[in-house]
């Protein structure tokens, strides 16, 4: 049974007496006085409530009532379930929600809503901590409804993760053969356990394939062609290395493997503190692209979502003169790695010389790594260009 000592007049209480008690789910009350509130609380306690949720409801408010249902005290990266009343029950009903961090969702009537007594839940995951106002507007039974509630999201535990923003075991354009070697060094006085997680391209990576290693004091570990061994993976992916009980120095090399040698690019290991966060703008400069691929360079653009929640990223394409070529918005799943090859072809068919990408994270609390990989079209020699945060 949840504590109710913090409830105040004008707050709202949502409670659910458990499975099988369909009529009680989503019940919401607004109180004009403390006495009325306490009477409702005593009634709820007598029913043996399983969940109590406190939100903000202006006195005398009517319309759409929303409660933070589960968990009642969410952390960043946790999926939050909101319940609302009246529910979507009839054809033509719909409610659109704004979650206060740039995210939105709409609950539309489906046949299941009618069969199972209404649709009354919407879910969202926050990338970072904060106090967010969740608002909903729509139409129920032909009548307009609206309402809001505040949810406080706290910061969850953060592991000392190090991200390697790109890696590959695959064939690329112009018959390039891409491989990635990972280097790990233990500078400490004790043995360190570390985990390497494979963040596959275009995938929600909240449950990634992970392999664990140990490394003695002062030792270095060389993981050649790390995507194939130990993961047995062919394709493109980023890596997340998590030291369990110490600190590590980490970097990698992604290279075009040829019969007589290789051309490679250094890709550093980056901590969470080096990520681009919401409210910041980062730039990638000196980018060239020759659409014919017969000469010059091609520019690939990479993004790694370091948040355990979906995020959105706005990218502005600029010429060397500062003129805008276009803007694109990229939506990333939780911990998703995405690389857009020949990225300037998203906005133009013309060659680009010394182009610029402006990168902005639009989801509150999100963390992102962004880079360009510029590859010589003739030799297959690539260079890694990290995004630089600017004022």
- Residue-level pLDDT at 157: 79
What does pLDDT average to over the chain? 87
Tokens linked to 198:
């494979």
- Residue-level pLDDT at 46: 53
Q: Binning pLDDT at 50, 70 and 90, where does residue 251 land?
A: very high
Angle 193-196-200 (CA atoms, 0-180°, nearest 5)? Answer: 170
Q: Which CATH architecture has domain 11-153?
A: Sandwich (2.60)
Percent of the chain with pLDDT over 70: 84
Question: Which long-range contacts does 95-99 make (Cβ < 8 Å, 24+ apart)?
Answer: 95/64, 95/122, 95/136, 95/137, 95/138, 95/139, 95/140, 95/145, 96/136, 96/137, 96/138, 97/122, 97/124, 97/134, 97/135, 97/136, 98/134, 98/135, 98/136, 99/124, 99/126, 99/132, 99/134
Q: Choose among 256, 223, 227: nearest CA to 239.
A: 227
Q: Binning pLDDT at 50, 70 and 90, where does residue 77 land?
A: very high
- Residue-level pLDDT at 104: 96
Q: Binning pLDDT at 50, 70 and 90, where does residue 76 land?
A: very high
Q: What is the mean pLDDT of residues 245-250?
A: 95
Q: Binning pLDDT at 50, 70 and 90, where does residue 39 land?
A: low
* Residue-range domain boundaries for the chain: 11-153, 162-390
Q: What is the mean pLDDT of residues 2-19?
A: 38
Whether the pLDDT of residue 376 is over 80: the answer is yes
Per residue in 147-177, pLDDT (tens digit) is: 999 999 999 877 799 999 999 999 999 889 9
- Residue-level pLDDT at 2: 38
Q: Which range among 58-72, 260-274, 299-313 shows the weakest confidence by mean pLDDT? A: 58-72
- Residue-level pLDDT at 38: 55
Per residue in 99-148, pLDDT (tens digit) is: 999 999 999 999 999 888 899 999 999 999 999 999 999 999 999 999 99
Q: What is the mean pLDDT of residues 190-210?
A: 97
Per residue in 82-97, pLDDT (tens digit) is: 999 999 999 999 999 9
Evaluate whether 251 touches 167 at the Cβ level (below 8 Å): no
Q: How far apart are CA 317 and CA 299, in angstroms?
A: 12
Per residue in 272-290, pLDDT (tens digit) is: 889 999 989 999 999 999 9
Q: What is the mean pLDDT of residues 322-351?
A: 98
- Residue-level pLDDT at 224: 98
Chosen CATH of 162-390 out of 2.60.120.10, 2.60.290.11, 3.40.50.720, 3.40.50.410: 2.60.290.11
Q: Choose among 169, 171, 221: nearest CA to 196.
A: 221
Whether the pLDDT of residue 307 is over 60: the answer is yes
Q: Which range among 13-27, 32-46, 113-127, 195-209 shows the weakest confidence by mean pLDDT? A: 13-27
């Amino acid at each position: 049974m949840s504590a109710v000592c913090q409830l105040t007049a004008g707050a709202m209480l949502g409670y659910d007496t458990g499975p099988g008690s369909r009529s009680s789910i989503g019940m919401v009350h607004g109180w004009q006085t403390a006495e009325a509130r306490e009477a409702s609380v005593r009634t709820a306690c007598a029913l043996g409530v399983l969940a109590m949720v406190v939100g903000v409801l202006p006195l005398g408010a009517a319309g759409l009532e929303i409660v933070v249902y589960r968990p009642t005290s969410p952390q960043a990266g946790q999926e939050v379930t909101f319940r609302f009343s009246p529910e979507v029950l009839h054809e033509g009903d719909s409610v659109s929600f704004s979650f206060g961090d740039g995210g939105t969702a709409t609950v539309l009537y489906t046949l299941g809503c009618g069969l199972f007594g209404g649709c009354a839940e919407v879910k969202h995951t926050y990338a970072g901590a904060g106090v967010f106002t969740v608002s909903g507007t729509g139409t129920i039974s032909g009548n307009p409804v609206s309402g809001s509630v505040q949810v406080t999201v706290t910061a969850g535990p953060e592991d000392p993760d190090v991200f390697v923003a790109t890696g590959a075991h695959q064939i690329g354009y112009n018959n390039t053969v891409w491989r990635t070697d990972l280097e790990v060094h233990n500078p400490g006085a004790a043995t360190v356990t570390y985990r390497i997680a494979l963040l596959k391209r275009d995938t929600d990576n909240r449950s990634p394939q992970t392999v664990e290693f140990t490394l003695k004091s002062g030792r270095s570990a060389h993981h050649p062609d790390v995507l194939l061994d130990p993961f047995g993976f062919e394709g493109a992916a980023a890596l997340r290395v998590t030291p369990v009980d110490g600190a590590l120095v980490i970097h990698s090399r992604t290279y075009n493997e040829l019969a007589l040698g290789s051309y490679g690019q250094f890709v550093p290991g980056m901590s969470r503190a080096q990520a681009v966060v919401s409210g910041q703008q980062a730039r990638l400069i000196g980018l060239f692209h020759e659409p014919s691929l017969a000469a010059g360079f091609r520019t690939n653009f990479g993004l790694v979502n370091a948040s355990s929640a979906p995020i959105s990223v706005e990218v502005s394409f600029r010429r060397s003169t500062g003129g805008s070529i276009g803007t694109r918005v990229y939506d990333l799943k939780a911990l998703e790695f995405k690389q857009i090859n020949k990225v300037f072809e998203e906005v133009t068919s013309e060659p680009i010389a010394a182009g610029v990408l402006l990168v902005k994270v639009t989801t509150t609390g999100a963390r992102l790594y962004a880079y360009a990989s510029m590859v010589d079209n003739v030799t297959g020699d690539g260079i890694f260009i990290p995004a630089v945060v600017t004022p």
